[in-house]
């Protein structure tokens, strides 16, 4: 145990060194998103057209993310999101096959919530776990996100009036619940216990920033 903790700590100091070097990930991927020169005037007009929509959406995001930012550290934010997702599952399980519209709406809501949540974990928390020598845990959790997406795909394919809809939702909830439990009870506390206040605040701000753009 002592060796394990030591390993993590020594790895952590290397991870804080690399993060203090700045945003390594920001440099290499620019070209994929950069616009060609000739497209600029057309884009300018198009962008002016969507500016109002963007502004309105920005307000909505700000309200949503401010509510979350008040939830505390990164692990508390993510745990609150787990609870929100599980509550949507419970509403889904309380429907019957005549409530197809409600089922569709709840599935859309769940998809959006899980998508935003997975993005925060995959872009911030799991990479940070890998830097802290928790690669196996990060890879395991990330592969489960793939199966979560598979459930969403299957539910969309089968349609809200399918006779096995509830059974599928129940199985899906079980996977999400076990996944959330592993994060909340095992992996996140183990990771957080070696962090100092500054590192915790840094991960929290990255999770909040990522969630803001996904909200």
- Token reading at 142: 């990330």
121 touches Fe ion by CB under 5 A: yes
> Which residues, including other chains, have CB under 8 Å from residue 68's CB and lie 6 or more apart?
77, 80, 81, 208, 211
Q: How far is the CB of 21 from Fe ion (least distance, A)?
A: 27
Q: What stretch of H or E contains 194? A: none
Question: Taking contact as CB under 5 A, which single stretch among the options 66-74, 90-98, 135-143, 191-199 is the one that binds Fe ion?
Answer: 135-143
134 touches Fe ion by CB under 5 A: no
> Which residues, including other chains, have CB under 8 Å from residue 212's CB and lie 6 or more apart?
61, 62, 65
The residue (of 154 and 184) whose beta carbon lies closer to Fe ion is 184
The residue (of 144 and 154) whose beta carbon lies closer to Fe ion is 144
Question: Taking contact as CB under 5 A, which single stretch among the options 40-48, 95-103, 114-122, 198-206 is the one that binds Fe ion?
Answer: 114-122
DSSP 8-state secondary structure symbol assigned to residue 53: H
Find out whether 148 and 118 touch, Cβ atoms under 8 Å.
yes
Q: How far is the CB of 180 from Fe ion (least distance, A)?
A: 6
The residue (of 101 and 153) whose beta carbon lies closer to Fe ion is 153
Q: How far is the CB of 55 from Fe ion (least distance, A)?
A: 31
Q: Which residues inside 69-88 make contact with Fe ion, applying CB under 5 A?
A: 78
Count residues contacting Fe ion (CB under 5 A)? 4
66-70 own/partner pairs: CB under 8 Å, 24+ apart = 68/208, 68/211, 69/208
Binding site for Fe ion (CB under 5 A): 78, 121, 141, 183
């Amino acid at each position: 145990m002592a060796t394990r903790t030591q390993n993590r700590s020594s790895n952590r100091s290397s991870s804080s060194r690399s993060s203090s070097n700045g945003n390594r990930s920001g440099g290499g991927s620019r070209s994929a998103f950069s616009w060609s020169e000739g497209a600029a005037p057309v884009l300018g007009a198009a962008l002016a057209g969507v500016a109002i929509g963007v502004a309105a959406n920005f307000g909505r995001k700000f309200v949503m993310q401010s509510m979350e930012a008040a939830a505390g550290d990164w692990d508390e934010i993510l745990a609150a999101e787990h609870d929100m997702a599980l509550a949507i599952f419970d509403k889904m399980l309380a429907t019957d096959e005549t409530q197809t519209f409600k089922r569709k709406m709840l599935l859309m809501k769940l998809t959006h919530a899980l998508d935003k949540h997975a993005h925060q974990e995959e872009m911030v928390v799991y990479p940070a776990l890998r830097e802290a020598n928790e690669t196996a845990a990060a890879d395991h959790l990330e592969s489960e996100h793939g199966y979560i997406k598979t459930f969403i795909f299957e539910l969309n394919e089968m349609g809200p009036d399918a006779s096995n809809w509830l059974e599928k939702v129940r199985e899906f909830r079980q996977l999400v619940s076990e996944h959330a439990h592993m994060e909340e009870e095992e992996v996140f506390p183990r990771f957080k216990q070696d962090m100092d206040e500054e590192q915790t605040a840094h991960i929290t701000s990255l999770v909040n920033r990522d969630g803001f753009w996904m909200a």
